[in-house]
Amino acid sequence: MNSFAFLLAPLALLLPAVAAGLPDASTPQSETARATPEAESAPVGLESPAAAPFRVLDNARKTPTENQVRIEQRVIVRIAPSSPRTVARSMDRIAEDTDRFEEERVGDCVPIGAIAAVQPANNNRLLFFMRDRRVLSAALERSCNSEDYYLGFYVERSGDGQLCSRRDKLQSRAGASCRFTKLSRLVAERD
């Protein structure tokens, strides 16, 4: 019995609002005919100021909609951090008998799909481990910290599919957002 009363409680709350919208029996028919057009268009019982949101919704349904479609496409690429085994293998391929490297300048852009993994390095740089077994070094802007990219980064794919210095922002999973200023290739240091 108690659960039945619980189900009828919302209906009991609506009864005064519905009764307020019904015409009074003592009111002559001519007075109700002189009601404003706004009152006639409002649903029964919703003439109070609290009914304004319902009128807005009702008017929105009546306005003609324009047949306009806007399609946007964004592709976000995630570059994952590298495993320690991948780092060791890549560094061994570069130089087998030295642990010192120098940087050789390459172009400003690299294909996004060619980056296999990333790792933060010293001097505010990121190491990009490429699918063709090269290791590239990307110098970040001064205001950035390479340690923010220990979990990898996200980048929005551009129309040309390239990741370019001073153009594309690298979004770290920690919330940092930076551009890199210079791209170079790591090679074994020559004696």
Of the pLDDT bands very low, low, confident and very high (cuts 50, 70, 90), residue 39 is: very low
Q: Tell me what pLDDT residue 138 has.
A: 92
Task: Look at residue 47 and tell me whether its pLDDT is greater than 80.
Answer: no
- Would you state the pLDDT for residue 6? 63
**pLDDT tens per residue, range 130-179:** 888 888 999 999 888 989 988 889 898 888 989 998 899 999 888 889 99
Question: What's at 62, amino acid-wise?
Answer: K
> pLDDT, tens digit, for every residue of 50-64?
666 667 667 666 656
Answer whether residue 73 shows pLDDT above 50.
Answer: yes
Question: How far apart, in whole angstroms, are the C-alpha atoms of residue 35 and residue 22?
Answer: 13
Torsion of CA 160, 161, 163, 168, to 10 degrees: 70
For the chain, what are the domain ranges?
A: 2-62, 76-188
Mean pLDDT over each residue of the chain, to the nearest integer: 75
| Distance set, CA 83 to CA 45, 67, 69, 157, 189 (Å) | 67, 51, 44, 24, 24
* C-alpha span between 44 and 67 (Å, rounded): 33
HSE-up (13 A, CA, CB side) for residue 38: 8
Top pLDDT among 153 and 43 is at: 153
